[in-house]
Amino acid sequence: MRFIAPSLLSANFAHLADEIQLLNNSQADWIHLDIMDGQFVPNISFGLPIVKTVRKLTSKPLDVHLMIVHPENYIKAFAEAGADILTLHYEAVIHLHRTINQIKDEGLKAGVVLNPHTPISLLEDIIKELDLVLLMSVNPGFGGQKFIEQTYTKITKLRELALKNDHDLMIEVDGGVTLENAPKLFSAGADILVAGNTVFAADDPCRMIERLKKGDLERG
């Protein structure tokens, strides 16, 4: 699987409908929505109204990444807003198994996010309950950060853990994804790459998405 999920955090919100239409016309597989509350991460992004608006503008799956405290309190609301995939941080949830089941009860794909410093081994007792794991390859909160090289090793360890448990897990990577590292990330075992600035700052975002999927390093 080679999925690209452009992060709307890097889009031009003054022309949100146009940006969504651009993604509709592209090879983007999912649209990634970063929800930040200014508490779990040192930034504030957008919330339920934007998710509802995006849902009206696209039929592509909405990959909603909750970077908030007490995410369990908002699962039903994000499901009703139009989320298809809901991921929440291991570091933000006290009763992880219960919360994952809450997400599944709403009919959504359920995932856990690990910050760069959080080890893969902590997922051993819940791995079979997860549809996906999102590995942060930067410290969460802001776009445009430098990719953390240790991510490749974490992808390998996560794939090994999934295979050990005979579980068909999707692995997503978010942060610092570029044309240069996308092929390496896919080769390491990633299935979905989140790309923000790399897509929306490109002269031709649709072409950039296509190149990221193909691992096309040639210029022009």
CB-based contacts of 81: which residues, under 8 Å, 6+ apart? 48, 51, 52, 55
Domain spans, the chain: 3-214
- What pLDDT is attached to residue 139? 85
Encode pLDDT of 158-210 as tens digits.
999 999 999 999 999 999 999 999 999 999 999 999 999 999 999 999 999 99
Long-range contacts of 44-51, Cβ-Cβ distance < 8 Å, separation of 24 or more = 45/9, 48/74, 48/77, 48/78, 48/81, 50/8, 50/16, 51/78, 51/81, 51/82, 51/83
3-class secondary structure, 76: helix
Encode pLDDT of 103-157 as tens digits.
999 999 999 999 999 999 999 999 999 999 999 999 876 666 689 999 999 999 9
Half-sphere exposure of 127 (CA within 13 A, CB side): 21
User: What architecture (CATH level 2) is domain 3-214?
Assistant: Alpha-Beta Barrel (3.20)
Angle, helix 16-24 to helix 48-57, in steps of 10 degrees: 50
**pTM for the predicted model, two decimal places:** 0.94
Positions marked active-site: 34, 174
